[in-house]
Amino acid sequence: LCNVNVNAGGDDGRESRGSSQQSDRRYWSRLLNVFIVYWSQTIFAAAFGLALLYMTVLGFDGIAIGYGKSQGLSATWLGILRSIGSACGIAGVLTYTTLETNIGVRRTGLIGLLTQQFPLYVCIASIWLPGSPFDPFNYFEELTLPMWWKQFKDAFRFTPTNRTETVTIDWSTWTSNGHSIISVFALLMGIAFARFGRLYMADLSITQIMQEMVPERQRGTVFGVQDSACQFFSVLKDLMVIILPDPRTFGVLIIVSVLFVIFGFIFYICYLIKTRHHSTGYKRSSNAIVESSPLMQSGKDDEISAEQRENKTNT
């Protein structure tokens, strides 16, 4: 009897392990199928190119603002530069609606990515302008594990702002408290003007292309994977900043960010070449779009049905 119970317990354990393994296989199989659906889409290259744009420190978030403050810019001027970036974003929205109506969404996305490229080259040039702290070789020569760990812990430490400290900018020499601000000013101006193309032209264009080209039954899957890819590259950017937290290595982060933007542009070019015979992106009138919508089609069907019933009644 004891032997029977032991054997039964062993069988139950093997069955539970077997069911757990089957459940794991089903999970990984479903996950693989989700990525296959995303990868097999016509718009994959454009969508993945958009996700690559999230791997950048060239945005008006805490990273760029913190770098600007470390280089001597006052909170007032940081706010002014952010306002310029917002104005460029609004101009991008207005330009997008006009271009999309006249030349199509595909060409609008191309123009958006092109107008993003050139301001970012200014960001690259700012690395070698006066006032730049870029010196990665000296940083890595001095770097030790205890030093890096101290910098990592200091990044999470709250330091109260010294309200008595004043930042004096001498615009005749472009210096702040004796330190040149030409480099950081050029960097933030490049970031501000790049928002015209990327944030409100390229993003909107590629998102609209995805909405038009992805089959309705697969939109949830595709957009879910797309959002995950964007968040992955955003987290990767944060990890890159954690690994290289010193202002002397910020130029490395700028170069990597611009490279990812260039790769995203190349992916979008590949999408345009692959789908160059598709009708999406040519000039379309708003009336044609509205008339081709399912709601308008159903309305027309209802009108035809009503006319047919009326004709039968008259006969």
* DSSP one-letter string for 118-134: HHHHHHHHHTTSTT---
- Domain assignment of residue 122, yes or no: yes
- Residue 176, strand partner residues: 169, 179
Q: What is the pTM of this model?
A: 0.78
154-173 residue pLDDT tens? 766 666 655 555 777 888 88
Residue 85 lies in a domain: yes
Amino acid identity of 290? V
Would the pLDDT of 302 be above 60? Answer: no
Q: Extract the tokens encoding 271.
A: 């999408």
Domain ranges, residue 133:
43-154+167-276
pLDDT digits (tens, 9 = 90+) for 173-191: 888 888 899 999 999 999 9
In angstroms, the CA 111 to CA 92 distance is: 11
**Band of the pLDDT at 208, cuts 50, 70, 90?**
very high
Does residue 37 belong to any structural domain of this protein? no
Total number of domains constituting the chain:
1
pLDDT over 90 at 273, yes or no: yes
Residue 47 domain flag: yes
Of 56-65, 195-204, 236-245, 265-274, the poorest mean pLDDT is in: 195-204
Written as six digits, the tokens of 204 are 């909107």
Q: Report the chain's mean pLDDT, rounded to a whole number.
A: 81
Q: Under 8 Å CB-to-CB from 205, ≥6 apart: which residues? A: 96, 100, 105, 106, 108, 109, 112
pLDDT at 99 over 80: yes
Residues 192, 81 contacting (CB under 8 angstroms):
yes
CATH number, domain of 203, equals 1.20.1250
Q: Is residue 240 part of a domain?
A: yes
Task: For residue 23, name the pLDDT band (cuts at 50, 70, 90).
Answer: confident
- Is pLDDT at 201 greater than 60 in this prediction? yes
100 in a domain, yes or no? Answer: yes
List, for residues 27-57, the tens digit of each pLDDT value: 788 888 888 999 999 999 999 999 999 999 9
